[in-house]
Amino acid sequence: MKQAYVGVAILFLVGLLTSGMFLLLSHLASAYRPTKVKAMPYESGINPLGDTRERYSVKFYIVAMLFIVFDIETIFFIPWAVIFRDLGLFGLIEMFIFIFVLGVGLAYAWKKGALEWD
């Protein structure tokens, strides 16, 4: 079973090597002569307004949180689907209870307008 991870390790090493080579080669090939104008952040050609640490709207947080919750729900579907045939009706009912509880959450989010942007 663990022999299957040799491929994962090779992929990981190739990824590390590739990104490392990008950094090394661009470091070796480039001429580093910074000026004040060059070091400025690029903002479509105009002078930057403020800095990059802008505060984001809290709406992004709701979207991210809802995504996480339903992402975790999906994770539970995978083992359920694998043994679905063995579980039969019993498995169907228990998964429906699970989905129902989360459906209540989705209905609540919908009712409260959390799915709307404005």
Partner 1 sequence: MIADFFFVLFAVMAIGGAISMVLARNPVASLLYLVVAFFALSGTFVLLDAHFIAAVNLIVYAGAIMVLFLFVIMLLNLGRSEKVDLRGPLNRIVAITVAGAFFALLFVALSAGSQTEMAGGMGQATVDAMLQSRGAVGVVADPMFRSYLVPFEITSLLLLAAIVGAIVLARRRAP
Cα(84)–Cα(95) distance, rounded to whole angstroms?
10
Q: According to DSSP H, which parts of 2-118 are helical? A: 5-29, 36-39, 59-82, 84-87, 89-111
Binding residue for partner 1, selected from 1, 23, 29, 89, defined by CB under 8 A: 1
* Site membership for partner 1, residue 67 (CB under 8 A): yes
Is-contact 76 98, C-beta < 8 A?
A: yes
The answer to whether 55 contacts partner 1 (rule: CB under 8 A) is: yes
For residues 22 and 112, which CB has a smaller minimum distance to partner 1 in the complex?
Answer: 112
| Chosen residue from 10, 11, 16, 69 binding partner 1 by CB under 8 A | 69
Select from 64, 91, 61 the least CA-distant residue to 76: 91
Q: Tell me how far CA of residue 67 lies from CA of 35, 57, 73, in angstroms.
A: 43, 17, 10
Q: What residues numbered 24-53 form the site for partner 1, per CB under 8 A?
A: 53
85 binds partner 1 (CB under 8 A): no
Which stretches of the chain bind partner 1, using CB under 8 A? Answer: 1-2, 5, 53, 55-56, 58-62, 64-69, 71-73, 75-76, 78-80, 82-83, 86-87, 91, 94, 97-98, 101-102, 104-106, 108-109, 112-114
